[in-house]
Amino acid sequence: MSPAQNSAALRSFEEQWLARAPDPLSGLRERALQRFLQLGLPTSHDESWRYTSLRPLASQSFADAPRAAALGFEQALALEHSRALLGDRPAAEVQAATLVLVNGYPLLPLAPGSAAGLEIRTLSALARENPDLVVRHLEPLPDAEELRWLLLNTALGVDGVHIRIRGALAAPLLILHVGTAERPGTVAYPRVIVEAAPGAAATVLEHHIQHGAESPLSNSATLLALERDARIEHYRVFAAGERAVHFDTLQVRLERDAECRQFTVALGGGLVRASLDARLNEPGAKLDSRALLVGHADRHVDCVNVVRHAAARTVSRQTARAIASGTSRVIFNSKVVVDAGASQSDSQQSFRGLLLSPSAEIDSRPQLEIHTDEVKCAHGATTGRLDPNMLFYMLSRGLDRQTAQSLLVYAFLADVLTDMSLSAARSVIESELIRQLPDSQTLQEFR
C-alpha cells in the first residue's frame, strides 16, 4: 500500500465508517467506501487534480462534525444568516422558503416562506421508508477521479434532504449550509437531492457559510434531476472563512427538453474545489453553466466541469470568468464529451481570466471529446491583464488611471453577473466580490 493510501486522513475516514450504525443503505455505503479507499485521495497524477495538492490534508485526521443540537443552535440564529444572500430586497424575493442544514444535518420544518409546490423529506427518514428511491439517485457509484469525493460523501454522509418540486414555485428556495465546529479536524457531508417534476420551474440557491471561528472540512454533494420540460435556475455560492476547505460536487441530470441555468460563485474559503458533472440524457436538454471565480489573498479555487451530451439535439454553454489577486490561484478545467449517436449537439465553452497581481496565477484547460458527426462544438480560453488599449482609451477621455482600471474590472465582473435573473442575490454577490478587489471603494461608486 502506498503512503497516500495509508495516510492519516484515509485511516480516519475508515474509523468514521466503523463507528456508523447500520442503516438501509449500509451495503451501498460500504461499496462506496471500499472503492474510495482503494482509489485513495486524489494526487497531482490524477488529470483533474494536477493543479491542486492535497498533501497537507492527507496528513490530518478527521472526526465527524457535531450535530446542530450539540452546539446549541437555535432556528432563529440560522434564519438570521439565511437572509445574508438575499439581503434587504423587495418582498417578492425575500419571501423565499428557507431550508437550513448545519454540518449537513437539516433543521426542519421549513422556515417561514412560500413552500407551496414543495415536498421535503430528510434523507435519513426517506432511506428508512423508501430506500430504493434513495439508492436510485446514489447509483451508479462513480469511477471518475474528479468525483472521488462524491464516493466519500455517499459512504459517510449521515443525513441530508430530498426535495421534490411539483410545479412552478412563486418564490426562490434558499438552502443555507452552515459549517461550524468547536475545534479543527472535523468533516461534514451535506447532501441535497432535488427532483423537478415534468413542467416544474424553480430558482434554488445554495449558500455555504461559516458560523464561528472554526468550520469543518465540507464534502458536500447536490443532485439536480430535471424531468421533461422542467426548468431550474441554480446558484451555489461559497462564502466560508479564509481557512475553510470545501469540496463540492454538483450533478445535473436533464431529460427531454429540460433546461438548467447554473451559477457557481466563489466568494470565500481557503481551498474551494467545485465540480460539475452534467449529463444531457434526452433530446432537447439544455445546460447553461456560468462560473465567477475570485482568487483573493492566498485563496485556491479549482473548478472542474464535465458535460456529457448523451442524446441528439442537446445544447450546453459554459461561461467562466476568473479574477486573481494577491498570491491566489484559480483553475478552470472544463471538458465536453459528445457520445456516439448524439448528433446535432451544440456546445460552447468560453473562459476569460484577469490577473490583478504579478504573484497570482490562473490556469485553464478547455477540452472536447467528440464521438459522432454533425455537431457544433467550440471552445476558447484567454488569460491576461487589463487591456492596455482599453485603458489608454479611457485615460484619453480624461479619467484618472485608478478610476479607469476600476471600471474595466467592473465590466469584467458584469459579464457573468448581469445574467443572474434574481436581482437580490446578484446585488449581494456583486457587493462581496467588489469588496475583495483592489480599489473596491472606487468600484462601489459606479454601481
For the stretch 98-139, pLDDT in tens is 889 999 999 876 654 446 789 999 999 999 999 999 999 999
Same domain, yes or no: 70 and 197? yes
Q: Which amino acid is at 245?
A: V
Proportion of the chain above pLDDT 70, given as a percent = 89
SS3 content of the chain, % helix, strand, coil (to 5): 25, 35, 35
Residue at a domain's end among 282, 300, 320: 282
Is 307 part of any domain?
A: no
Same domain, yes or no: 264 and 400? no
Cα gap 318→313, rounded to integer Å: 17
- φ, ψ of residue 231 in degrees (nearest 5): -135, 125
Residues 6 or more apart in contact with residue 45 via CB below 8 angstroms: none
Proportion of the chain above pLDDT 90, given as a percent = 69
- Rg of the chain in Å (alpha carbons): 21
Same domain, yes or no: 196 and 67? yes
pLDDT at 114: 44
pLDDT at 27: 95
Residue at a domain's end among 233, 265, 282: 282
pLDDT at 447: 66
Computed from CA positions of residues 36, 38, 40, 43, in that sequence, does the dihedral angle turn out positive or negative? negative
Range name among 74-83, 115-124, 140-149, 375-384 with the lowest pLDDT average: 74-83
Q: How confident is the model at residue 212 (pLDDT cuts 50, 70, 90)?
A: confident
Average pLDDT, the chain: 89
Alpha carbon separation from 220 to 48, 248, 268, 302 (Å, rounded): 18, 5, 16, 15
Is 355 part of any domain?
A: no
Average pLDDT over residues 406-425: 82
Q: How many domains does the chain have?
A: 2
C-alpha cell at 367: 477540452
C-alpha cell at 233: 435556475
The conformation of residue 88, written as its DSSP 8-state character, comes to S
Is 340 part of any domain?
A: no
Is 263 part of any domain?
A: yes
User: Chain centroid to CA 347: how far?
Assistant: 21
Same domain, yes or no: 277 and 417? no
**Is residue 444 pLDDT above 80, yes or no?**
no
pLDDT higher at 262 or 405: 262
pLDDT at 110: 61
C-alpha cell at 165: 418540486
Is 348 part of any domain?
A: no
CA-closest candidate to residue 222, choices 210, 209, 235: 235
**Is residue 376 pLDDT above 90, yes or no?**
yes
Average pLDDT over residues 128-155: 94
**Is residue 14 pLDDT above 50, yes or no?**
yes
pLDDT higher at 436 or 206: 206
Domain residues for the domain of 245 are 8-282
Q: Half-sphere exposure of residue 300, counting CA atoms within 13 Å on the CB side?
A: 12
